[in-house]
Chains A and B, each alone.
Chain A
Amino acid sequence: MSGRAGAPLDVSADLLAPPGRTGLRMVLSRIGTLCLVELQKLRHDKLDLVTRAAQPALWLLVFGTTFSQLRVIPTDVPYLDYLAPGVLAQSALFVSIFYGIQIMWERDAGVLSKLLVTPTPPAALVIGKAFAAGVRAVLQVLVVVLLAAVLGVGLTANPLRLLLAAGIVVLGSAFFCCLSVIIAGLVLSRDRVVGISQAIVMPLFFASNALYPEELMPAWLRAINLVNPLSYQVDALRGLLIGTPSRLLLDIGVLAGATALAIALATRLVGRLGR
């Protein structure tokens, strides 16, 4: 290479470019980077957190308070308390599914190909995006938690439990984000991803224990509930935040397993989005 004298751009480093990070350190660095980007975007658009809190607020206020008074759904704790973790999980679900859909926008805008041409293996990109969805969801859930506290929901104040609950939200969101990446990688069309996601998100919610205990479900609903990761997320959040009996270890195990599987599948498919 020649013509370097008096260069305003210093390229002395280029030929001896550092080998860069590899392996686990690189993956961790990419996760950090993509999460940071999410925080930067949220800082520019704080209003987004408020507008997206509107729907969970309605669920808590209208559905929660009404059914608390009607007492048609038998629960061990006041129904509003019972419902709150379900609504938290729902708002995290919406955020993360939408986040996954957004990757289709990034694809159509060329942002994704540019990311794929950096030294970022597909797995690191998927995991990074999944955790970034988690970060966004945790911040969203925080707004809903404050709202629930204002409404008098008996939430725990134990910092360890709160931290664990945040971890559960991240895990669940990573799963649902990867789920929409998987759908995107299969159908390769933005409109169809939006359509399919909308078609599955409500059934995921209603076929879970977010609104009513498993014991009230007919057998077929119970079967879906059994394989619905959202139910495990809700169960864990309910146990941690409200203190109802839960199977925390099972919940974490199922969520972690489902997320690992979803990451593996999304990694295999994400390259198709760059074509």
Chain B
Amino acid sequence: MTAAVRVHGLRYAFNGSVAVSNIDLTVQTGEVFGLLGPNGAGKTTTIRAITALLPVPAGTISIFGLDVTRNRMAVRRLIGYVPQMLSADSDLTGRENVSLFARLFDVPRRQRAARVDEVIDAMGLTEAADRRASTYSGGMVRRLELAQALISMPRLLILDEPTIGLDPLARSGVWERIAAIRRDTGMTVLVTTHYMDEAEQACDRVALMHRGEIRVLGAPEALIADLPEPDGDLDDVFRAHVGDHLDDDRTRGMRDVRASRRTARRLG
């Protein structure tokens, strides 16, 4: 079976400063794959290279066997993408937000309204559907974005920090939806997070990133079982392989924090 995502030798630098290097990973069809690491580790950069938002100067990336640089449009029909920032259009209602993506993905006109209703319902937003997204809570915006990403029934769902900035209740709500999507559709999910506990629960396999490189890759249970001490968790795995704390790179993380604050303000 062709892998859902295959990344080989990816390297990307922003104006000479290396953001990711030597990235090799394969996401199998049907699995939930987690890209983990502290802020600034290079998760978003990797995701943006996979979606072909960033031109890939070195390395190859293919999605379901299609090279992303050569088959950009075909690849985009296969993926649903939720970026790190809360990016629903706050000037539109929930339903309008989803309809927009139905049109952009050429969902046939006859099926459009029914499909929009269906995904809005699946994300638990039916009652709020005709309110403007500016009135939504952070968790609702995230679920709205999931609805937008699902409207085209993608084969690969790419979620960049789907729970960043949410309260614990909203976080578990988002993970529940992701689990349900997975259960109901068998969709492949590539997700990034810096919350190790969430990844441990939700992902079949994870890659731990640090300073632009993948340090270790495997199933959470297997990685934890390999630890010298019993009763460990993914945090311990990270420490064992990286040797320092998750919270270093504070300054690198500031950009993300500022960005999500800005979004929070924008969304009122």
Q: Which A residues fall within an 8 A CB radius of B?
A: 1-4, 6-11, 13-15, 17-18, 20-21, 26, 29-30, 32-33, 36-37, 40-41, 44-45, 108-111, 113-121, 274-275
Contact = CB atoms under 8 A, between A and B. Distances in A.
Interface residues of B, number: 54
Contacts of A30: 104
Interface in B88-140: 89, 91-93, 96, 100-101, 103-106, 108, 118-119, 121-122, 132
Most chain B CB inside 10 Å of its own CB: which residue of A13, A40, A275: A40
A20 B51 contact: no
Contact of B153 (A14, A32, A41, A120): A14
Contacts of A15: 155
User: What are the 5 A-B residue pairs with the smallest beta carbon separation, nearest first?
Assistant: A110-B87, A110-B85, A7-B184, A14-B153, A20-B106
A108 B263 CA distance: 9
A20 B105 contact: yes
30 contacts: A1-B30, A3-B184, A3-B185, A3-B186, A8-B118, A8-B122, A9-B119, A9-B150, A9-B181, A15-B155, A17-B152, A18-B106, A29-B103, A29-B106, A33-B104, A36-B103, A37-B89, A37-B100, A41-B91, A44-B132, A109-B86, A109-B87, A109-B262, A109-B266, A110-B83, A110-B84, A117-B52, A117-B79, A119-B106, A275-B53
B166 to A, nearest CB: 16
Contacts of A113: 48, 51, 53, 81, 83, 87
B92 A44 contact: yes
A26 B78 CA distance: 17
Given A3-B184, A15-B155, A20-B77, 5 more contacts: A13-B153, A37-B100, A40-B93, A44-B132, A275-B55
A252 to B, nearest CB: 30
B185 A9 contact: yes
B76 interface: yes
A14 B152 CA distance: 8
